[in-house]
Structure 1
Amino acid sequence: MVIFFVATGNAHKMQEIRAILGERFQYLSLKNGNATKKAVELGGWLAQRKAEGGTRQEELYVLADDSGLEVDALNGAPGVHSARFAATSESGNRRSARGAGNAPDAANNAKLLHLLKSVPLEKRTARFRCVLALTAVLPETRKGSSPVCYADELELQTELFEGVCEGHIGFAPQGQGGFGYDPLFIPDGYQQSFAELGEDVKNELSHRAKALASLRARFLE
């Protein structure tokens, strides 16, 4: 059994990951944003599983999803600041974004449309980019200790998987589905936004779908 500890508190991302990868894997959410706390949380889970004798036939991985929207007319913004775009300065610089929490989807979309209000269709090109970091967790125990796993004894090996979906930004929100910038992003070859195309189509075309397809292939080799 392959178990993914998904490092996100975003329920929409978690739902897409499960839908795309399928039920052959098991998924647990690591909602903590602090890396040290994540390690402690994971270490505690492993300790319990190891005490129960449950980790011997299980492959354990932490899966982190770093996704963003890159708009050419904005020099690649919002990029890494996509989730908190409305909380950053007009330029979206790192200094202003530091410490800013995620902003509501509607606010992010409104800011994007405002910045692109005078940009013609042919210059509204954009792309979604997803980078997945897959970290294998190899638990060990201290000699002479009880069968538990300490967070500082985790050996980490990381692989990266990337997916890109090209498209453009519409002039107004289209559709009620999806999340994030889905109502504004229209993938190449379509006239509908991700929000209009629906979950099944999006999960075939999207940046996350492409990255997860590469990840899934890694386990089918």
Structure 2
Amino acid sequence: MRKLLVATKNRGKAKEIKELIGDFFDEVLTLSDFEGNINIIEDGKTFEENALKKAKTIYDLYRLPTLADDSGLEVDALGGRPGVYSARYAGENATDEERIKKLLEELRDVPCEKRGAQFVCVLTFIDENGRVYQTKGICRGKIGFEPRGKNGFGYDPVFIPEGSTLTFAELESEEKNRISHRAKAFEKLKRILGEIYNEDISSE
């Protein structure tokens, strides 16, 4: 029975990951399935460093195939900020609304044509033999002038992906999951898993 441990306590995220990577694993576990409280300090300077630290910490503890992700928003006019600090941009315990408010305030004098941005997702997968694989997905777009939409989370209400006039929070989840940074990272990971486990993903 092939198990995957996702470095999160969020069962919803585990369910989403199970759907995204197909049938490579019989069971997807989270940290909520184990006793104890693990607090991993995300002090890396890149998404790659943070995702690797999370994955290695959990793999070393439980020795199960492990998946961790780190993602965030990079805004051109802000020199790539908030980047790896996306979740802590307005303080450790800030709400999504507070983070969006701070972002829009920093961009209040920036015209539409200079509001380019991208969402980035880095996945780190460690297999049962301790081999490490990383994939990266990027979704380009721009930052709107006000929050719109009720779907999604984080900065979704102000991020308008290229080729759309709607924010991530206005898109149907199926459409967002087709074009998002996370979806692109998972597509690459699925190809790696297909090679590792000798499974054909062409029909998925």
Q: For the superposition of Structure 1 and Structure 2, which TM-score range results when normalised by the shorter chain?
A: 0.7 to 0.9
Change (3 A) 1:119 1:13: farther
The equivalent residue for 2:155 is 181
Cα distance in 1, alignment partners of residues 22 and 168 from structure 2: 21
Change (3 A) 1:41 1:180: same
- Deviation of the 1:29 alpha carbon: 1.0
1:166 to 120, 133, 140: 140
Secondary structure (helix, strand or coil) at the match of 2:71 reads strand
- Deviation of the 1:39 alpha carbon: 5.1
Secondary structure (helix, strand or coil) at the match of 2:89 reads helix
In structure 2, what residue type is equivalent to 1:166? R
Q: Pick the structure with greater CA Rg.
A: 1
2:107 to 104, 113, 116: 116
- Please, what is the CA RMSD of the aligned residues? 2.2
How many equivalent pairs are there?
175
Q: Is the Cα contact below 8 Å between 2:116 and 2:143 reproduced in 1?
A: yes
The equivalent residue for 2:176 is 202
In structure 1, what residue type is equivalent to 2:134? L
Instruction: Give CA deviations for 1:147-194 in whole Å, capped at 9, x if unaligned.
Output: xxxxxxxxx221111110000011111100001111111100000011
The equivalent residue for 1:144 is none
| 1:33 matches 2:39 | yes
The equivalent residue for 1:85 is 89
**Which residues in structure 2 correspond to 1:141-152 (within 5 Å)?**
none
Q: Is the Cα contact below 8 Å between 1:16 and 1:203 reproduced in 2?
A: no
Q: Can you give the 5+ residue segments of structure 2 that lack an aligned partner in the other structure?
A: 33-37, 41-53, 196-204
Change (3 A) 1:106 1:12: farther
- Deviation of the 1:41 alpha carbon: 5.2
Runs of 4+ in 1 over 6 A off after TM superposition: none
What TM-score, normalized by structure 1, do the two folds share? 0.72
Cα distance in 2, alignment partners of residues 76 and 15 from structure 1: 31
Cα distance in 2, alignment partners of residues 186 and 12 from structure 1: 24
| 1:104 matches 2:108 | no
Cα distance in 1, alignment partners of residues 110 and 11 from structure 2: 33
The equivalent residue for 2:194 is 220
- Deviation of the 1:196 alpha carbon: 0.6
- Deviation of the 1:38 alpha carbon: 3.4
Cα distance in 2, alignment partners of residues 66 and 5 from structure 1: 15
Cα distance in 2, alignment partners of residues 82 and 163 from structure 1: 16
Change (3 A) 1:129 1:38: same
- Deviation of the 1:106 alpha carbon: 1.1
Secondary structure (helix, strand or coil) at the match of 1:86 reads coil
- Deviation of the 1:42 alpha carbon: 1.8
Cα distance in 2, alignment partners of residues 40 and 69 from structure 1: 29
Instruction: Give CA deviations for 1:21-43 in whole Å, capped at 9, x if unaligned.
Output: 23553311126333697357525
Cα distance in 1, alignment partners of residues 162 and 89 from structure 2: 24
Cα distance in 2, alignment partners of residues 102 and 18 from structure 1: 29
Instruction: Give CA deviations for 1:113-141 in whole Å, capped at 9, x if unaligned.
Output: 11111111101000001110111233xxx
1:63 to 52, 64, 67: 67
